[in-house]
Amino acid sequence: MAILVTGGAGYIGSHTVSELLDHGEEVIVLDNLEKGHREAVLAQTFIHGDVRDRELLDQIFRRYDVEAVVHFAAYSLVGDSMKDPLAYYDNNVAAAQILLTKMIEHGVKRIVFSSTAATYGEPRQIPIQETDATEPTNAYGETKLAIEKMMKWCEQAYGLRFISLRYFNAAGAHPDGHIGEDHDPETHLIPIVLQVALGQREALSIFGDDYPTEDGTCIRDYVHVMDLAQAHRLALEKLRETGKSGIYNLGSGTGFSVKQVVERAREITGHPIPTRVAPHRPGDPAVLIASSQKAREELGWRPQFEDLDTIITTAWAWHRSHPNGYRKEEMRG
Ligand code: UDP
Three-state SS for 176? Answer: coil
With a cut of 90, say whether residue 283 has pLDDT above it: no
Backbone angles phi, psi at 125, to 5 degrees: -150, 155
Full-model pTM: 0.97
Candidate from 189, 209, 261 with most ligand 1 atoms within 8 A of CB, to mutate:
189
Q: What is the pLDDT of residues 116-144, one digit of tens each?
A: 999 999 999 999 999 999 999 999 999 99
Task: Give the residue-averaged pLDDT of 84-98.
Answer: 98
Whole-number Å distance between alpha carbons of 104 and 98: 10
What's the confidence (pLDDT) of residue 333?
38
Amino acid at 63: R
Q: Note the ipTM here.
A: 0.99
Q: Evaluate: CB of 74 within 6 angstroms of ligand 1.
A: no
Residue positions annotated with a catalytic role: 140
Q: Which atom of ligand 1 is nearest the CA belonging to 118?
A: 25
Whole-number Å distance between alpha carbons of 148 and 239: 16
**What is the β-pairing status of strands 256-257 and 219-220?**
antiparallel
What CATH architecture applies to the domain 2-171+222-250? 3-Layer(aba) Sandwich (3.40)
Q: Evaluate: CB of 312 within 6 angstroms of ligand 1.
A: no
Which residues make up the CATH 3.40.50.720 domain(s) of the chain? 2-171+222-250
Please give the distance, rounded to the nearest whole angstrom, from the Cα atom of residue 165 to the centre of ligand 1.
Answer: 20
Whole-number Å distance between alpha carbons of 65 and 25: 13
CATH number of 189-220+253-326: 3.90.25.10
Which residues make up the CATH 3.90.25.10 domain(s) of the chain? 189-220+253-326
Q: Evaluate: CB of 189 within 6 angstroms of ligand 1.
A: yes
What's the confidence (pLDDT) of residue 129?
98
